[in-house]
Chains A and B, each alone.
Chain A
Amino acid sequence: MDYGFWIALGLDIVSAAFVITGAVFVLAGAIGVIRLPDFYTRMHAAGVTDTLGAELIVIGLMIQGGFTLITVKLALLGVFVFLTSPTATHAVANAAYKSGLKPLLTRYRPHAGSDDGGAA
């Protein structure tokens, strides 16, 4: 009995699951950016894209790469995204704050009057 085929298939399924889950989180982040009201709250939604979304896709690709130099490079890529994305986010947020953009600090509930809002 040849197990090689089944192991390759299993790895493909696991890797596809990681990549698809990552893509779903990227999509959720994009939808959040559109739905949330102001600059600072949208930044939180964008954070979903470059933490969980990006890292899950990198993990999925690492499984595809197997024990090769490509996997090493992908791992380093994951670490660099992990280290640089908060720095970039902070730079953008700090620039907005310094230039006087006031954050929205009141309750935001646009659908409160609708059927969904009444139920919740």
Chain B
Amino acid sequence: MASRLFYGVLLALVLSVLWLLLSGYWFKPLLVGFGVLAVVVALVTTARMGLLDGESVPFARLPHYLKYWSWLGAEIFKANIAVVRISMAPDLNIKPVMTRVAVTAKTDMARTTYANSITLTPGTVTVEVEETGFLVHALTEEFADQDAFRDIERRAIEAVEGKDVLEKPRGEA
């Protein structure tokens, strides 16, 4: 119960800040009033659907996500250069591969982050999601490096679940 209150307050705070930043109306009482109404409606709907948990309101872990995203951004930059170099080479020489990547992450959020990170990195795309692994299409064999995938998964789990949280049933965290 206490955690639901925490996530409710957090969601209200984030939605209010977002509304103010996107609208830019700080001092017009009528419009700010409508903004408050919008936040309340969104909050009540979320609470009624039972979605007030760490998965729907992931903002408490924002610093971890920012750290992960900046690391991923650097990886994406490197992969972009590699893909452009291959696709623009006068002597186009590729050998695409389909490879299966094992997944150990348990929570949906960590699995989604991992799959999306693979897709976001040019040269590799997650084609199919299965229970114990992903089917990944890679532009050449160099991109289908299992150790690199391991590294992405380890960092994704660390960012999404934290080091101490192993597996907790939903709604109890």
Contacts and interface: CB of A to CB of B under 8 A. Distances in A.
Interface string A58-70: 0000000000010
A94 B97 contact: no
A117 interface: yes
A87 B116 contact: yes
Nearest to A110: B92
A94 B127 contact: yes
B88 interface: yes
Size band of the interface chain A makes with B: 35 or more
Contacts of B77: 52
A103 B96 contact: yes
A89 B76 CA distance: 15
B95 A106 contact: yes
B84 A116 contact: no
Nearest to B77: A52
Contacts of B128: 94, 97-98
B10 interface: no
Size band of the interface chain B makes with A: 35 or more
A45 B83 contact: yes
Nearest to B22: A73
Contacts of B91: 109, 111-112, 114, 116-117, 119-120
Interface in B114-173: 115-117, 119-129, 135, 137, 139
B80 A45 contact: no
Contacts of A104: 96
Contacts of A97: 127-128, 135
A106 B90 CA distance: 19
Contact of B94 (A51, A83, A93, A107): A107
Most buried by B among A52, A73, A87, A117: A52
A109 B93 contact: yes
A90 to B, nearest CB: 5
A111 B92 contact: yes
27 contacts: A35-B88, A35-B92, A36-B92, A41-B96, A44-B83, A45-B83, A47-B123, A47-B125, A48-B87, A48-B122, A51-B120, A52-B80, A69-B21, A82-B69, A90-B126, A93-B127, A93-B137, A94-B127, A94-B129, A105-B95, A107-B94, A108-B92, A109-B94, A111-B91, A116-B90, A119-B91, A120-B89
Interface of A: 25, 28-29, 31-32, 35-38, 40-41, 43-45, 47-48, 51-52, 55, 69, 72-73, 76, 82-83, 85-87, 89-90, 93-94, 97-98, 103-112, 114, 116-117, 119-120
Interface of B: 21-22, 24, 69, 73, 76-77, 80, 83-84, 87-98, 115-117, 119-129, 135, 137, 139
